[in-house]
Structure 1
């Protein structure tokens, strides 16, 4: 391991040790308790809003609730749900799944608060286009004296939203699932060729802006979730006899970890497992990181509470459903105990075992949909951060740089990429969570006013 890899690994490990566990999990618990579970009691309303039942033509915004959620999910239901979960299980064992569940439930409250704020404090430009996100929440909610925090978020966001991980795992998947089975040698030239192809495809879509990204992701996301969940359920059904054993092991191993391979945190393996769970859940559902508020802040609505409720569905779909499907498929197939495999390769082994001869091909379709949708949505988030700091020209320059880094990610090592992205995500979380905590009374007041108003209308 060279100096840079070690430095990135040590820094990521420290940031996602006690600092981020206290910040992200502590803030999530605060939102969870402070809201008195009010948004959680209106899950049905969230689904109703998502369906478009409450839409009004006079509402301000750029995209529908469904498209806003699709853009957010395209980022969160990405390679983190296939490769990221596999990496987590390889390092943490079955118990990691429990702590990812806990983080997701807490993350629902975080998503509600951060995305409600994104609509409350968004900026509307001269053309009537709404633009929201943590940077605007900080500027419009906390004031100009906090501008340094908005810049902090944007610089971290420009780094964290780079397509390094998605591009890397897409190329690994193409090599492992397609090229090698066809007898094509897995070398740098193959990876470079695949990287160039991905870069061109990404450039064609992202240069069309939010509307094109939202249109493409709203088509891809429902398809990829339905197909992937169906295939994972098939793996579970085929191995149904061992499901109760592994489901129980998820709970027992969460508090008495037997398979944890990482560093001790807070002096114990349990601490290390908890931290790893929070870290990988954040990579999966991104609650508290600030990307989702940038998508939901642009939604066509005049009711901040509506978008907060829709955003709350994100962790349910990407972590409680999709990540759980991945985890169970890997665990019950037994491939997680085979050394030397990680990332998307581990998930591929589980699928191939259930569907001999074509499992890898089916998974590749899912990986392609997940990975490409992530490339598209992250580009929008990073460009939005660049526009805030450098203006319109800066956004265009970032888009070009983003396309170039698709190629860079395709030929880089996975370990260095994961650490770089984890560091960037950690730095994004600080301004997002701090501003949300400071402005949380605004969310609670808006929530109470909304439900009081709607109840009165129903009584009338």
Structure 2
């Protein structure tokens, strides 16, 4: 079964998926008139809450929505996902992650604007947003099969098995193995059950509790991780320019990949960027669709900051730490253990503990938000009265994630993300003219004020 999952993920992440995500994102970037570059200042003003309206329909503020979305994206994709990208595609994969992030900003602008523009109601009458509602409300009932495909893939793809797997791995490497405790299956089960209990305490409180916890955790976790990483980067500051040059040159030579295949580097970068910032996958529109905002364009402008923060800033810093310390050339380790080795080399005795705390917060914050995404997919398919059953299924899979192998986990998530991207990108491109018209109207009104 594991081999089938790995083979499926490698097949679906071929050239067609690359064209859909990066090509589709590039079309949206041009179609928008390069809004991610021109309007980033206005996005930051919006994020500060300058235009918040507590009376607008929705459940959370735009800042809480972005915090929850970043809690899901700025996570282990930035710590172990970057390490996996470098080990599979070499430093050049980071360049293609950057490219994916910039086109991903346009994708998020469109998809999250649509999430407000075409909100629907669940069976209990609660206002909801997300690609499934965008498809049904914006494209019509005849396209509902795309909503069903998205939600089925979301229920399985938005489990936090990857986070559970990597959190378990770093805890064993930092706390248990140095103390002589072997990583037996029993130990993994104990770690998994502990994580499940912690996550249950937050997610059973619904989106308000998830968003409240995320908006408090995200600034702290970003500060802790940024602080640690910047100390390491300044320690090796003289070598940083060479590493940045290496990222760019290797992107077009593929020297670090077996056979020197540039295509393999591009696919690796796009695949890891999609996992890291989720642009085009359809997760962020679900949480942004719940924000108290009557202005679709405002929500899109706030949402587009996500890929920039996530990939251009955080992933680059992680990549520099891995490259500056030289651990990326060790083929014996991958995922979070590679990043762990980098922290240990750069900050002996304390580095691994700092990373463990960051991983703990990153993983838990992602687990909280993913439960909301899967809950919404389940709600759409089976009704609001049955949606809470999903939480119990979700919690049980955390235990499973702590036990199974990394390769199977990452391939399962990658494969299902690709399936989710198909209806998300189709609906976003199909409805893009409506967003452009709304953007023109919005910016004209802003000038008039």
TM (norm. structure 1) is: 0.96
* Structure 2 equivalent of residue 30 of structure 1: 27
In the alignment, structure 1 residue 450 sits paired with structure 2 residue 447 = no
Matches of 2:240 and 2:36, distance apart in 1: 33
Q: 1:98-113 alignment to 2 at 5 Å? A: 98-113=95-110
Q: Deviations over 1:110-136 (max 9, x none)?
A: 000000000000125698843100000
Matches of 1:415 and 1:126, distance apart in 2: 38
Matches of 1:169 and 1:127, distance apart in 2: 37
Q: Is the 8 A contact 2:124 2:385 kept in 1?
A: no
* Structure 2 equivalent of residue 270 of structure 1: 262
Which shows bigger deviation, 224-233 or 175-184?
175-184
Aligned match for 1:309, one of 292, 298, 301? 301
Which shows bigger deviation, 8-17 or 124-133?
124-133
In the alignment, structure 1 residue 245 sits paired with structure 2 residue 237 = no
Aligned match for 1:213, one of 199, 210, 213? 210
Q: Is the 8 A contact 1:116 1:305 kept in 2?
A: yes
Q: Deviations over 1:21-65 (max 9, x none)?
A: 011111101100111113531111111111111112321111011
Aligned match for 1:296, one of 288, 294, 319? 288
In the alignment, structure 1 residue 181 sits paired with structure 2 residue 173 = no
Shift of 1:323: 0.6
Q: Is the 8 A contact 1:116 1:308 kept in 2?
A: yes
* Structure 2 equivalent of residue 133 of structure 1: 130
In the alignment, structure 1 residue 441 sits paired with structure 2 residue 433 = yes
* Structure 1 equivalent of residue 3 of structure 2: 6
Which shows bigger deviation, 279-288 or 121-130?
121-130
Q: Is the 8 A contact 2:36 2:105 kept in 1?
A: no
Aligned match for 1:418, one of 405, 410, 414? 410
* Structure 1 equivalent of residue 331 of structure 2: 339
Matches of 1:13 and 1:159, distance apart in 2: 18
Q: Deviations over 1:76-125 (max 9, x none)?
A: 11111101110111111111110000000010000000000000001256
Matches of 2:353 and 2:123, distance apart in 1: 48
Q: 1:107-122 alignment to 2 at 5 Å? A: 107-122=104-119
Stretches of structure 1 that go unaligned for 5 or more consecutive residues are none
Shift of 1:189: 1.2
In the alignment, structure 1 residue 57 sits paired with structure 2 residue 49 = no
Q: Is the 8 A contact 2:124 2:384 kept in 1?
A: no
Q: Deviations over 1:407-447 (max 9, x none)?
A: 00000010011110011000000000000010000000000
In the alignment, structure 1 residue 233 sits paired with structure 2 residue 230 = yes
Aligned match for 1:348, one of 318, 334, 340? 340
Matches of 2:288 and 2:179, distance apart in 1: 42
* Structure 1 equivalent of residue 145 of structure 2: 148
RMSD: 1.3
Matches of 2:121 and 2:37, distance apart in 1: 29
Closer/same/farther in 2, CA of residues 128 and 9 from structure 1, 3 Å limit = closer
Q: Is the 8 A contact 1:62 1:129 kept in 2?
A: no
Aligned match for 2:77, one of 80, 91, 94? 80
* Structure 2 equivalent of residue 403 of structure 1: 395
Matches of 2:181 and 2:66, distance apart in 1: 38
Matches of 1:152 and 1:417, distance apart in 2: 21
Matches of 1:91 and 1:228, distance apart in 2: 24
Q: Is the 8 A contact 1:60 1:128 kept in 2?
A: no
Closer/same/farther in 2, CA of residues 129 and 52 from structure 1, 3 Å limit = farther
Give the secondary structure class of the aligned counterpart of 1:394: coil
Shift of 1:230: 1.2
Count of residue pairs the alignment pairs up: 449
